[in-house]
Structure 1
Amino acid sequence: MRAIEFYMTPKGEVMLKEEGKPEHQLKETDYDFISSFLAVLEEFYPEAHKKLMEEYARSEKRRTYRDFLAVRRFVKCNMGNYDNTLDLDENWNFKFEFVSCPLRGECTGQGVICSPKFNSKLSERQLDVMKMCYDGKSDEEIAEELYITLDTVKNHRKNSFRKLSIHSMADFIRYANRNNLFNP
């Protein structure tokens, strides 16, 4: 995926302008993009994800439509201005912007869907993987011991780094030692 600028049309439709590609309207049929977007939301902004699923629960029988509505709402609330600043980079990092909202102060999603909190807490599985990395095990050993794929090991490590705002195993080891993460 390339970086994307989102914006809303005067009629309230969400448009995507992906670098090097023509702009297009977000549609329910953009399954791959929408499911990837929601996976990032669930991992890094779980409160927003949960609230969106509650808001659109009435459409649960039409899951693709519900997911489309949820992504469209999240974009409208957090990235809907056309400002030539990319809102989503190639690593799925969101760049939020203040979006004026006629429901500000009345919306039940304020502070949850709009301006959501980043989840910096590692999941149990991420902790398992990072403990094994900390102990010097190879990705192959970790994958075999936890019955997961190599890609899953790499994704857990990448997401752990992102949540902790670190960039390398050396940074993680310093973080783990400083915070007594694995020492009683």
Structure 2
Amino acid sequence: MRKIEFYVSPDGKVKVDEEGTPITKEFTESERELTEYVANLIKNQYPEAFNALALEYRASKPNKSFFLYLIVHRFIRCNFGKFDGLTYDIEGNVLHIEDIACPLKWRNDCPLKDIVCRPKPFGLTSREAEVAKLSSTGRTYEEISEELGITHSTIKNTIQKIKEKLHLTSSKDIAKLIIATL
């Protein structure tokens, strides 16, 4: 499982620390594989944020790698600015959004506030979000089905749909994602 910590250094550069790598490095456009990995996570789990940033940087779209880098770089600055050491910002396919001071504080009325910074997760239906939330509390499929008045197999199928939509591999990842976004 991939574990990554991002932070913004005092000089304003985005740094990346990945478990298993001996050095901290600057996050630059040359980090293409990492950029694509994070861009896909953002696109799948925070589609509204991804689309808003794609619109913001649309002039760079012809250069796909630079376009994705701009989206990922901004998302990192708005959501992973602290080096906290408590949890990794990315664990596998789960993003742990942090509550940080706005890096664009000079823009008092940032139009992307609450869209890119502290974004709303996923794009799940209300029922899927409800099942995901109940699942994240440790309830069994039986307990969830009883609480919602739907069948055990419907809960199981809904959990499977959630994993597919969010590109997660386990119910444990759903719980981590839900807890990270509360």
Which residue is 1:11 aligned to?
A: 11
Which residue is 2:110 aligned to?
A: 107
Which residue is 1:51 aligned to?
A: 52
Alignment of 1:13-162 (within 5 A): 13-21=13-21, 22-85=23-86, 86-89=88-91, 91-101=92-102, 102-103=105-106, 105-121=108-124, 158-160=163-165
Q: CA RMSD in A?
A: 2.7
Q: Which runs of 5+ in 2 are unaligned?
A: 126-152, 155-159, 173-182
TM-score (norm 1): 0.64
Q: Structure 1 runs of 4+ off > 4 angstroms?
A: 160-163
Give the distance between the partners of 1:84 and 1:40, measured in 2 at CA: 21
Does the 8 Å contact 1:45/1:117 carry over to 2? yes
Does the 8 Å contact 2:93/2:167 carry over to 1? no
Does the 8 Å contact 1:53/1:70 carry over to 2? yes
Q: Which runs of 5+ in 1 are unaligned?
A: 123-133, 136-154, 168-184
Distance 1:58 1:162, change over 3 A: closer
Does the 8 Å contact 1:104/1:110 carry over to 2? no
How far apart are 1:70 and its partner, in Å? 0.8
Name the amino acid aligned to 1:2. Answer: R
Count of aligned pairs between the two proteins: 135
Structure whose CA Rg is larger: 1
Give the distance between the partners of 2:165 and 2:49, measured in 1 at CA: 19
TM-score (norm 2): 0.65
Distance 1:26 1:99, change over 3 A: same
Q: Percent identity?
A: 29
Q: Secondary structure at the match of 1:10?
A: coil
How far apart are 1:12 and its partner, in Å? 1.6
Larger relative contact order (Cα-Cα within 8 Å, sequence gap ≥ 6) = 2
How far apart are 1:58 and its partner, in Å? 1.3
Give the distance between the partners of 2:18 and 2:67, measured in 1 at CA: 23
Distance 1:47 1:161, change over 3 A: closer
How far apart are 1:19 and its partner, in Å? 1.3
Name the amino acid aligned to 2:47. Answer: P
